[in-house]
Amino acid sequence: MGTMNISLPDSMKDFIDRQVADKGYGTSSEYVRDLIRREQDREKLRALLIEGLESGPGQVADAAYFDGLRERIRQRATGRAKGASAKAAATPRRRTKAAGAR
């Protein structure tokens, strides 16, 4: 882990010391790392929001939308079930010693 020394006015240092004491941080470094992580999360969220805005208008999530979604799910499930049945029928069954001993 790298080390960084920063200079702060006394009022900011006092603020950080109070935050460490009041919020249960072990050290001022833990507090600052938490602030940085939160800022990183905010930047990621901003980027995702901008990406969403730039992607154009979305689809209305009304009853018809959910009906179509359910239908696509049913079709996929039916397709998988048919595919699994066909694959099982095409695969020859082998007898194991345990099965053959019965």
Residue indicated by tokens 């095409």: 90
Specify the amino acid at residue 63.
A
Residues 6+ apart with CB under 8 A from 74: none
Q: Does pTM surpass 0.85?
A: no
97 or 27: which carries more pLDDT confidence?
Answer: 27
Confidence of residue 58 (pLDDT cuts 50, 70, 90): confident
Mean pLDDT of 54-80: 92
- The predicted-structure confidence for 5-23, as pLDDT tens digits, reads as follows 999 999 999 999 999 999 9
Counting Cα atoms < 13 Å in the Cβ hemisphere of 28 gives 11
* Core vs surface per residue 6-35: b (16+ CB within 10 A) or e: eeeeeeeeeebeebbeeeebeeeeebbeee
> What's the pLDDT score for residue 102?
43
The residue length of the chain stands at 102
